[in-house]
Amino acid sequence: MIHGESYKCIVAEAAKNAIGEYREEDGKGTGYLERIFVVKLLLDANQPNRIAGAVGFSVRENKVYIFKCNAMLVACGGAVNVYRPRSTGEGMGRAWYPVWNAGSTYTLCSQVGAEMTMMENRFVPARFKDGYGPVG
């Protein structure tokens, strides 16, 4: 067992309470929405090189969300399994990084013409069960 694993639900509940509530009836509040799949970034009509929001849908409910923003941070992870691995035998076909990172960061940003910087610094790999690589 990873040390601290039993604290995840306790810490998550405290963080949720600290952030606040999202009021769905008026779309305001200081809270957050979970399980929203963002599919498109929206440009500002007055400043074409500025992001004004995003469009996404709920993966649990039949709802579409449109978000307005003054600034945006896109942090979806890197792209995994882009290149063929050099490993052979036991390691062939296994990934060092989570295979669900499909390059969404690059796609969302390049579709709206954003300047892409630090692409070589993809992400810091998290530990996940039965992972193969330098993090265990």
- 136: pLDDT strictly greater than 50: no
Q: How far is the CA of 132 from the CAs of 77, 89, 100, in angstroms?
A: 18, 13, 15
Q: What is the pLDDT of residues 99-132, one digit of tens each?
A: 777 888 888 989 999 887 777 665 555 666 666 6
Q: What is the pLDDT of residues 43-77, one digit of tens each?
A: 999 998 899 999 999 999 999 999 999 888 888 77
Q: How far apart are CA 64 and CA 20, in angstroms?
A: 22
Give the count of alpha carbons within 13 A of 125, CB side only. 17
Pull the structure tokens for residue 53.
């929001």
Q: How far is the CA of 4 from the CAs of 110, 112, 123, 133, in angstroms?
A: 38, 41, 23, 22
Q: Are 36 and 66 in contact (CB under 8 A)?
A: no
Amino acid letter for position 108? L
